[in-house]
């Protein structure tokens, strides 16, 4: 396990080009071109034990050995982002878009129901991001309830204040 962590630590986190034996080798994110001898020194193992380790993790599908000329040991770590706890840029964009769509639903419904001007969107977005998914859904679901229990429309809060004060959690006696 410790050796696998060493492999993850020594893998590239971004694309880099190395010049080895007069050859330019492009090493992508999640790849490494460290020699087997250097790996054995890092692990403090014999070269044969190091070679067996890399063969084993290749058989398990953790890495792929990229063939090159003799003497160049180039590995690719499969699912590098998963191993390092990162999400891919595409998944990050999708998640960001999804969160924004849910906020837009809240923003439109709040102002349509409360009949207030759409003000301070950045402040409301900051407060929205602090809420859990359950609280976000509750905030959307309870907009009308808060509206109907407000005696004077002059005291209807702005969307950001509604979120910050968690007015959607108020309990009303009918």
Say which CATH number the domain at 68 has.
1.10.10.10
pLDDT at 91: 74
Other beta carbons within 10 Å of 163: 25
Q: Please tell me whether residue 24 adopts helix, strand or coil conformation.
A: strand
**DSSP 8-state symbol, 86:** -
pLDDT at 45: 94
For the chain, give the number of residues: 174
pLDDT at 171: 85
pLDDT tens sequence across 73-111: 899 999 888 888 777 677 777 877 887 899 999 999 999
Assess whether 71 and 98 both reside in one domain: no
Range of the domain at 126: 89-169
Assess whether 80 and 149 both reside in one domain: no
94 Cβ contact list (under 8 Å, min separation 6): none
* Domain edge (last residue) among 84, 102, 127: 84
pLDDT at 93: 79
Give the number of C-alpha atoms closer than 13 A to the C-alpha of residue 120, restricted to the C-beta side: 14
Q: Are 127 and 163 in contact (CB under 8 A)?
A: yes
CA angle, corner 90, sides to 86 and 93, nearest 5?
Answer: 95
Total tally of structural domains belonging to the chain: 2
pTM: predicted TM-score of the whole model, two decimal places: 0.51
* Domain edge (last residue) among 84, 111, 145: 84
Q: Are 163 and 124 in contact (CB under 8 A)?
A: yes
pLDDT at 97: 81
pLDDT at 96: 78
Residues of the chain with pLDDT under 50: none
Q: How far apart are CA 127 and CA 48, in angstroms?
A: 57
Other beta carbons within 10 Å of 37: 12
* Domain edge (last residue) among 84, 116, 134: 84
């Amino acid at each position: 396990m410790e050796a696998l962590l060493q492999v993850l630590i020594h893998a590239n986190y971004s694309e880099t080009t190395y010049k080895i034996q007069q050859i330019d080798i492009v090493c992508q994110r999640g790849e490494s071109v460290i020699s087997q001898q250097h790996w054995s020194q890092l692990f403090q193992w014999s070269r044969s034990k190091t070679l067996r380790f890399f063969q084993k993790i290749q058989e398990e599908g953790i890495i792929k050995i990229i063939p090159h000329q003799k003497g160049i040991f180039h590995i690719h770590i499969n699912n590098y982002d998963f191993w390092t706890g990162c999400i891919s840029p595409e998944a990050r964009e999708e998640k960001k878009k999804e969160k924004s769509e849910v906020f837009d639903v809240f923003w439109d419904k709040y102002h349509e129901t409360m009949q207030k001007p759409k003000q301070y969107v950045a402040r409301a977005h900051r407060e929205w991001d602090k809420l859990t998914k359950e609280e976000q859904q509750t905030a959307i679901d309870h907009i009308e309830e808060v509206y109907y229990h407000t005696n004077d429309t002059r005291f209807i809060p702005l969307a950001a204040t509604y979120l910050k004060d968690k007015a959607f959690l108020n309990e009303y006696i009918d």
